[in-house]
Structure 1
Amino acid sequence: MDLIWEGLRKALELLLTLDPEVLRITLLSLKVSGLATLLSVILGLGLALGVALNEFPGKRLVIALLNTGMGLPPVVVGLFVTVLLWRNGPLGFLGILYTPAAIILAQAVIATPIVAGLGLAAFQHLPPGLRLQILSLGATRTQMVWMLLREARLPLLAAVMAGFGGVISEVGASIMVGGNLKGSTRVLTTATVMETSRGNFDVAFALSFILLLLTFGVNALLTHLQQRERPR
């Protein structure tokens, strides 16, 4: 218990003094995970809409793959992204391995199936005839898609929260593709692992509490938006 209280004290100290390194790590964590979540929302919802609105052979297999992807092990994602971005890999010419861009890419790969799977479930939960009813009223396909997004906005916001939660707390892939480099790719999760390995448990607890506070803040904002939209 003493370590936990010391961690809380250290977290308050680091926050109140606006420790430059902790502030930089926190902002980088928010930037990286925020951009990864945004990318996963664009790709995931697009994929979910494509599957939900079309009938094609193997559709159930695609849905099964999406659901399986929701549980992708981060270290496996990190391995594949590292190989892709390695200097001799297919995407090695980009030269982004061990940069924040590589972490964003890995985290987006992790979050996209989560957003796609939950988004697909949200669209499939809508009334079966809703799409045809909207089109019969003269709406264009773009307007129809927008209406479906509005109708499914509550579970879709939950999908966004799940995607963000999956990447902000991720550590394995971030270390593998980012390298945990000070001043460049060190985020809250990787910094916590490093401080723990060094035996600096007070700092590790402090970083953990800051991570929890950051996660709560973002999810509280998204929850506020979700509940504000909830039908009364």
Structure 2
Amino acid sequence: MSLGPFGLAFDLIASGDPELMQIIGLSLRVTLTAVAIGCALGLPLGAALALARFPGRSVVVVVFNALMGLPPVVAGLAIYLLLSRSGPLGPLGLLFTPTAMVLAQTILILPIVISLTRSVIEVLWDEYQEQFRSLGSGRIRAVPTLLWDGRFSLLTGVLAGFGRASAEVGAILIVGGNIAGHTRTMTTAITLETSRGNLGLAVALGIILIGLTLSFNALAFGASGWARRVAG
């Protein structure tokens, strides 16, 4: 008797199917790299936006909030035009490579991290600004301290960025090309294998993707709970 899609999926997972492992490994490398870059840029930029005062600041805030809902295919098209042969970065030959996929995911993650960081840091600054001023610390000098103090709240932004990147299909399909063994990720493979009728591999990848998302959220929840117990 032939196995159904779920039976095939669990068989692939249990046996450590090489194709499955390769797709998972590439997906994690691309997504985690994009999240790391997005956080390295977005956390300080978001904190600076929360504390800085300049003409047009409210417009910048609105723009970043709007970009949180940026359609992935638009981000993918922008990176494609940038990296295509006729684009300014065409000579680098990055189109249809994991690097191009990282760039596309970073563009999607960055506005989320910046906007959520700005929100968290604004609240912390309102709460502690008198203490900072009494110590002679200005707004910019307070950024590292505020980021550290709000690190567990900022996990929300990091997880939101991870969720956005890990679930992405359109942008990485445009700039990566879904090339087997080279740029095929979990989401693009699920789309392709479902259209082919290869539901076993598609379901296996879906199970792994859900499991990774739940694991990251559980770790963040546990870290936040531990921090509250230590603080208390």
| RMSD of Structure 2 on Structure 1 (CA) | 1.9
Distance 2:36 2:220 in 1: 13
Distance 1:144 1:127 in 2: 9
**SS state of the match for residue 126, structure 2?**
coil
Q: With structure 2 as the length reference, what TM-score do the two structures score?
A: 0.91
**SS state of the match for residue 124, structure 2?**
coil
Distance 2:67 2:139 in 1: 29
Aligned residue number for residue 71 of structure 1: 69
Aligned residue number for residue 46 of structure 2: 48
Distance 2:127 2:195 in 1: 56
Once the two structures are aligned, what percentage of the paired residues are identical?
43
**SS state of the match for residue 229, structure 1?**
helix
Distance 1:140 1:56 in 2: 16
Name which of 136, 147, 151 aligns with 2:145.
147
Cα distance, 1:32 vs. partner? 0.5
Output the amino acid matched with 1:79: L
Q: With structure 1 as the length reference, what TM-score do the two structures score?
A: 0.91
Distance 1:132 1:89 in 2: 50
Aligned residue number for residue 39 of structure 1: 37
Cα distance, 1:160 vs. partner? 0.3
Distance 2:112 2:82 in 1: 22
Output the amino acid matched with 2:111: P
Moved over 4 A (4+): 138-143
Larger displacement relative to structure 2 (130-139 or 152-161): 130-139
Alpha-carbon distance change, 93 to 226 in structure 1, aligned in 2, over 3 angstroms:
farther
Cα distance, 1:151 vs. partner? 2.2
Conservation of the 8 A alpha-carbon contact between 2:12 and 2:201? no
Structure 1 unaligned regions, length at least 5 = none
Q: Does 1:106 align with 2:104?
A: yes
Aligned pairs, number:
228
